[in-house]
């Protein structure tokens, strides 16, 4: 991998990665719909709206690998999800294919699987159970990735990311926390491991409360260094201040599940 494109450069995760990935590859092009406030003079940045295929074709030109973090990162109105995460994601894969890009690492989300109960440990071979329009868009992105891998030979890795941050923020995040450095490890496996065809990994650190069987990532050499348990007392103290959420507390997707929930059966 000589040249990498990373979309979503101005977002929370992108901002962390711009620091953590510095120097990892000979050349990294960063992109987003707006310029990051803290862009450094030595960072290559190209603005692009992912819903515009011609603009996406420009940012993928000449790269060997794409890390696709861009799009809308929480639940939103259908039109927003459609443009940013459905059309935008399709455009990234299609442009990558047309440009002869070898690999794509797609930032999927735990919300593609959010309606699995917290009592169930899930792996990567189960039906998707999205908890939101946002989660539907992530399941869509995984399907697009599988298609471009199987039909056109792109090497695709989907990371079902939990919650990236310095520490787990509450009880749910004790199960799904992802230390930023562990995310970099997963991205590097997607960009570099020679046996990648189409893979799904959970984006979680070594969390004692995990709901996810991440043996597929470990099979590719993933060795997470973060342990959510080191922050248990702080996370539980933060949880104690939150109002009860009977639906959200039952399912893995938490508040994304209870939002707009109106099942009466």
Residues marked active site are found at 134
Among 7, 31, 73, 214, binds ligand 15L (CB under 6 A): 73
**Choice between 25 and 115, CB closer to ligand 15L:** 115
Computed from CA positions of residues 133, 134, 137, 139, in that sequence, does the dihedral angle turn out positive or negative?
negative
Helix/strand/coil for 168? coil
CA distance 42 to 21: 13
**Choice between 31 and 73, CB closer to ligand 15L:** 73
Among 85, 109, 137, 157, binds ligand 15L (CB under 6 A): 109
Long-range CB pairs of 246-250 (<8 Å, 24+ gap) are 249/118, 250/117, 250/118
Give yes or no for residue 85 binding ligand 15L (CB under 6 A). no
Minimum distance, C-beta of residue 225 to ligand 15L, in the bound complex (Å): 20
The alpha-carbon radius of gyration of the chain (Å, integer) is 18
CA distance 6 to 197: 20
Count the site residues for ligand 15L by CB under 6 A: 7
Give yes or no for residue 84 binding ligand 15L (CB under 6 A). no
Among 31, 84, 110, 214, binds ligand 15L (CB under 6 A): 110
Residues 155-214 that bind ligand 15L (CB under 6 A): 161, 163
Question: 173 burial class (0-12, 13-18, 19+ CB within 10 angstroms)?
Answer: buried
Give yes or no for residue 74 binding ligand 15L (CB under 6 A). yes
Q: Which residues bind ligand 15L (CB under 6 A)?
A: 73-74, 109-111, 161, 163
């Amino acid at each position: 991998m000589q040249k990498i494109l990373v979309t979503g450069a101005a977002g929370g995760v992108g901002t962390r990665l711009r620091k953590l990935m510095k120097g990892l590859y000979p050349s990294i092009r960063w992109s987003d719909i707006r310029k990051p406030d803290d862009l450094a003079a030595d960072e290559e940045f190209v603005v692009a709206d992912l819903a515009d295929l011609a603009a996406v074709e420009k940012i993928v030109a000449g790269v060997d690998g794409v890390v696709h973090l861009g799009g809308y990162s929480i639940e939103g109105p259908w039109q927003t999800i459609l443009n940013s995460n459905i059309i935008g994601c399709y455009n990234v894969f299609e442009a990558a294919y047309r440009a002869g890009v070898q690999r794509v690492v797609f930032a999927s989300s735990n919300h593609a699987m959010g309606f699995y109960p917290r009592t169930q440990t899930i792996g990567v071979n189960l039906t998707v159970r999205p908890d939101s329009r946002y989660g539907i868009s992530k399941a869509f992105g995984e399907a697009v990735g599988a298609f471009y891998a199987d039909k056109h030979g792109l090497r695709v890795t989907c990371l079902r990311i939990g919650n990236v941050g310095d520490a787990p923020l509450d009880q749910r995040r004790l199960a799904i926390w992802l230390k930023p450095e562990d995310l970099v490890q997963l991205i590097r496996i997607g960009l570099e491991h020679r046996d990648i065809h189409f893979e799904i990994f959970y984006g979680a650190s070594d969390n004692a409360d995990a709901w996810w069987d991440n043996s597929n990532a470990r099979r590719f050499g993933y060795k997470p260094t973060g342990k959510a348990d080191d922050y248990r007392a702080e996370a539980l103290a933060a949880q104690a201040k939150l109002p009860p959420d009977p639906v959200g507390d039952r399912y893995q997707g938490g508040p994304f599940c209870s939002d707009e929930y109106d099942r009466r059966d």
